[in-house]
């Protein structure tokens, strides 16, 4: 049976060794505070960047198609996320409750094209295995598409296919990483609708051994124009290395 282990816990042994050695040299070394770690990926297509605030603290602007790396939070009670269009002060996501657990790692995803925007929070867990293959999961954050299938090269990845747009209700399944059936190295990532039409193909993405990846379909199928703005909002596949 594959055992899921929290990413933070996987680092705990190594961290404790470092801290123990430090304490031996300096007994006044304070122990680390328990924390949760949260990253945010911005797939909200109408604007070029989105400002993310945690609780009452002003956060950072995250460009479209990019992520803010894992931030440590030691105060977890009533922790919320608010997403704002900085140019207009329009609230896109209004105080979404995060409810993180201590010593856990998460990635949040902001997406959609309407107001309010959509938001889901996934817990990032690792798979203990001797396999050198990368670990992957797939998220359908796109607008204007139904369920989709995922291919690596010519091979359909059944467990990641027939995926509708993400909701928090299906996060328990979608957040799970699987061991890729393909060896590490360059692989074409292809997303198709259920009729077999290619929605987007990302050529020769180089998967590293034993690394963790979120494969993300984002954008709006209706954005088919030739302007830079339309191209930026069109369907595409992004890969987020955890």
Domain boundaries defined on the chain = 1-123, 131-242
Domain 131-242: which topology?
Immunoglobulin-like (2.60.40)
Residue 11 pLDDT: 45
Instruction: Please say whether the beta carbons of 213 and 240 come within 8 A.
Output: yes
Q: Which bin fits 78, alpha (ψ -120 to 50), beta or left (φ > 0)?
A: left
Residue 35 DSSP SS3: coil
Is residue 146 classed exposed, middle or buried when 0-12, 13-18 and 19+ CB atoms within 10 A define those classes?
middle
Instruction: Please say whether the beta carbons of 181 and 155 come within 8 A.
Output: yes
Domain 1-123: which topology?
Immunoglobulin-like (2.60.40)
CB proximity list for 88: less than 8 A, separation 6 or greater: none
Task: From 101, 165, 103, 108, select the one nearest 138 (Cα to Cα).
Answer: 165
Task: From 42, 177, 37, select the one nearest 109 (Cα to Cα).
Answer: 42
For 142, phi then psi, to 5°, come to -80, 155
For residue range 165-186, list pLDDT tens digits in order: 999 998 988 999 999 999 999 9
For residue range 103-138, list pLDDT tens digits in order: 999 999 999 999 999 999 999 987 778 899 999 999
Q: What is the mean pLDDT of residues 59-70?
A: 91
CA dist., res. 162 & res. 142, Å (int) = 14
Give exposure, 129-142, as e/b (b: 16+ Cβ within 10 Å). Answer: eeeebbbbbbbbbb
Same fold, 1-123 and 131-242: yes
Mean residue pLDDT of the chain comes to 88
Q: Structure pTM?
A: 0.85
Residue 51 pLDDT: 95
CA distances 224 to 171, 194, 202, Å, are 30, 20, 18
């Amino acid at each position: 049976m594959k055992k899921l282990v929290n990413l933070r816990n996987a680092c705990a042994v190594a961290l404790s060794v470092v801290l123990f050695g430090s304490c031996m040299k300096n007994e006044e070394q304070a122990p680390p505070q328990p924390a949760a770690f949260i990253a945010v990926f911005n797939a909200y297509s109408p604007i070029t960047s989105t400002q993310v605030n945690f609780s009452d603290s002003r956060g950072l602007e995250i460009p479209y198609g990019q992520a803010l790396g894992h931030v440590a939070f030691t105060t977890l009670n009533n922790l919320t996320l608010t997403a704002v269009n900085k140019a207009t002060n329009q609230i896109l996501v209004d105080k979404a409750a995060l409810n993180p657990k201590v010593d856990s790692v998460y990635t949040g995803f902001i997406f959609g094209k309407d107001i309010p925007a959509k938001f889901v929070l996934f817990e990032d867990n690792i798979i203990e295995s001797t396999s050198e293959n990368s670990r992957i999961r797939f998220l359908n954050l796109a607008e204007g598409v139904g369920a989709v299938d995922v291919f690596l090269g010519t091979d359909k990845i059944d467990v990641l296919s027939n995926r509708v747009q993400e909701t928090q209700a299906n996060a328990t399944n979608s957040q799970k990483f699987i061991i890729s059936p393909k060896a590490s190295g360059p692989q074409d990532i292809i997303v198709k609708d259920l009729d077999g039409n290619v929605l987007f193909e990302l050529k020769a993405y180089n998967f590293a051994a034993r690394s963790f990846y979120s494969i993300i379909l984002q954008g709006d199928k209706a954005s088919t124009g030739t302007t830079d703005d339309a191209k930026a909002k069109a369907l595409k596949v992004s890969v987020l290395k955890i």
